A and B are shown apart, each in its own frame.
Chain A
Amino acid sequence: MQQETVLTPPATVTDVPEAAHHVEHAEAAHHEAGTHSVANSKLAMWLFLASEVMFFTVLIGAYVIARTLHPEEHALLNIPLTSVNSFILLLSSFTVVRSLAGIQAGDVTKLQRSIMMTIILGFVFFAIMMYEYSHLSHEGVTLSSGPFGMAFYTLTGFHGAHVMIGLIWAMYVFWQAFNGRYTKESHWGVEFWGLYWHFVDVVWIFIFTVVYLL
């Protein structure tokens, strides 16, 4: 038994290059598998966003019909206030992309601050939207007041719900960032949340034009 133990080291030494190769190969395979996994998840995320495009198109189409049949209620919409709200949402898109740039550079503080700014801007956007709803309901435009109200509240309400989901997601991402879960090398959680938030911004760009300006 002792002899066997003594003979083992030289055998292991000759195996070192092969063993190192196996470890290297396994690490490379693991890295490649991880890359594919993220790539597949990213494709899935874009497919989800593509389906959301169709969802919002239906709602925008319904609004266009209601607006064409009842053009008079459009005059009640507050364009200056909504323009400010549009800028707030665009600014939040900038803070989101800044948070991603932060973690890509390994700057966790920048990531946390930018997410916090996004959360604040998101809540301001939501508060202004609620103020607008309150103003419109006082003017008699409600969900059940007619086709215009129904189409308007359904479209902007679903968008608002998406903003709220984005805010909840942002708070989760912030919590994860606070606990040091994101690194320069691994931060797909931030990237996917960012994609969702930017998409919500893109939808608002079209809502702002079609609902308020046209």
Chain B
Amino acid sequence: MSEPKHAPAALTAKAETHAQAHQHPGEGTYVNILIILAGLTLLEVIAAYLPVIRYPLLIGISFSKAWLVIRFYMHLRYEKPLLTLVFLFPLIAATIITVVITPLVR
């Protein structure tokens, strides 16, 4: 009889943990992210007209923008680490492929 009494309590605790794990930020954070994304896009357009430094700058900015969307808008920050790994693996593989093939063409 003690097990059934404990079971709902355990499940409630589990549900609370689940809810906490899925706690998303408020609208203020989403607005701030949008402002940062817009600012980065503007910076990117300016950087496109700069000499030499533009390549690392543009790649860095685009990865930062993508990471902000993935972490905050897609809520990966609040999900289990497994989902981050699932998405990061092909992203890293894709980056390596692109970096490797580019000099081969030149």
Chain A residues within CB distance 8 Å of chain B: 21, 24-25, 28, 31-32, 35, 42-43, 46-47, 49-51, 53-54, 56-57, 60-61, 64-65, 68-69, 79-80, 83, 86-87, 90-91, 93-94, 96-98, 100-101, 104, 194-195, 198-199, 201-202, 205-206, 208-210, 212-214
Contact = CB atoms under 8 A, between A and B. Distances in A.
A87 B27 contact: no
A97 B31 CA distance: 10
Interface string B36-69: 0110010011011000001100110110011001
Q: Is the interface of B mostly helix, strand, loop or mixed?
A: helix
25 contacts: A21-B4, A24-B8, A28-B8, A50-B89, A51-B90, A53-B87, A53-B94, A54-B90, A57-B97, A57-B98, A61-B98, A68-B102, A68-B105, A90-B37, A93-B34, A94-B33, A96-B73, A98-B30, A101-B26, A198-B70, A201-B69, A202-B69, A205-B66, A213-B48, A214-B55
Contacts of B82: 43
Contacts, number: 127
Given A57-B98, A93-B73, A201-B69, A28 B7 contact: yes
A180 to B, nearest CB: 22
Contacts of A198: 69-70, 73-74
A35 B14 CA distance: 11
A31 B74 contact: no
Interface string B85-98: 01101110110011
Interface residues of B, number: 50
Nearest to B92: A53
A87 B18 contact: no
A43 B83 contact: yes
Contacts of A202: 66, 69-70
A57 B95 CA distance: 8
Contacts of B54: 213-214
